């Protein structure tokens, strides 16, 4: 019975890795479309959103089967409940990447400083998502805590971008609409970092039984 349960837990990990990879891919595609200003790159993004949603439903079903058909001990219950929380954040990461994709066509001719900061912010967000899922699979508290700490890096990028855009509007009021769109993109990347932080906090819970809000 336990060996069957362990097999299903391994499957859960596999599905979580795949969902995390989809989140990484959709953010990476959005970043490439933003960097290269190529609208053609946005076409494949619309198909990834439904894939992420489907993966969420698959994992939910697997978690419920583990809870109902097996007899998980306390640490297993924490891992399963953490996975259920984490997939909600991963699904929202996909949503926010799609939100960014909708804005990308309207932000051409961006200031070089803001463009560089956005690229670095996006890379930092992608790294947080990757490491948060890796921490779950490896039950790595140290890596999870690193992700939580790295959220400050993403938040700092948002502050820098906001300041740069405000200065730009003062100097060139006609660029105000584009600046607002760029600020929205930065805000979505900040939220992606927040979701990765949530994932990491649930990793800590799955291992220790202690959650930040607890």
Condensed to tens digits (0 to 9), the pLDDT of residues 55-92 reads 999 999 999 989 887 777 888 888 899 999 999 999 99
Query: What span, in angstroms and rounded, lies between the C-alpha atoms of 152 and 48?
Result: 28
CA distance linking residue 180 with residue 44, whole number of Å: 25
Q: Is the pLDDT reported for residue 214 higher than 60?
A: no
The pTM of this model reads 0.91
Q: In whole angstroms, what is the distance from residue 51 CA to residue 61 CA?
A: 15
Which of 86-100, 125-139, 170-184, 192-206 bottoms out in mean pLDDT, i.e. has the lowest? 170-184
81 burial type by CB count under 10 A (0-12 exposed, 13-18 middle, 19+ buried):
middle
Among residues 121, 120, 127, the alpha carbon closest in space to that of 147 is found at 127
Q: Quote the tokens at residue 213.
A: 């809000």
The reply to whether CATH 1.20.58.220 applies to domain 2-208 is yes
Residue 213 has pLDDT above 70, yes or no: no
């Amino acid at each position: 019975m336990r060996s069957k349960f362990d097999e299903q837990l391994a499957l859960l990990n596999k599905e979580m890795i795949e969902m995390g990879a989809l989140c990484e891919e959709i953010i990476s595609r959005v970043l490439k479309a933003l960097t290269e200003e190529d609208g053609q790159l946005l076409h494949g993004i619309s198909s990834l959103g439904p894939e992420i949603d489907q993966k969420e439903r698959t994992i939910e079903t697997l978690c419920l089967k583990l809870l109902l058909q097996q007899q998980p001990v306390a640490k297993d219950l924490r891992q399963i409940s953490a996975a259920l929380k984490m997939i909600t954040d991963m699904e929202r990461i996909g949503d926010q990447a799609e939100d960014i994709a909708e804005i990308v066509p309207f932000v051409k001719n961006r200031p070089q400083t803001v463009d560089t900061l956005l690229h670095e912010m996006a890379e930092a967000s992608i790294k947080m998502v990757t490491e948060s899922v890796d921490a779950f699979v490896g039950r790595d508290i140290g890596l999870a805590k690193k992700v939580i700490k790295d959220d400050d890096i993403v938040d700092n990028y948002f502050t820098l971008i906001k300041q740069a855009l405000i200065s730009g509007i003062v100097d060139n009021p006609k660029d105000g609409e584009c600046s607002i769109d760029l600020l929205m993109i930065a805000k979505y990347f900040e939220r992606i970092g927040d979701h990765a932080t949530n994932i990491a906090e649930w990793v800590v819970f799955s291992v220790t039984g202690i959650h930040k809000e607890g």
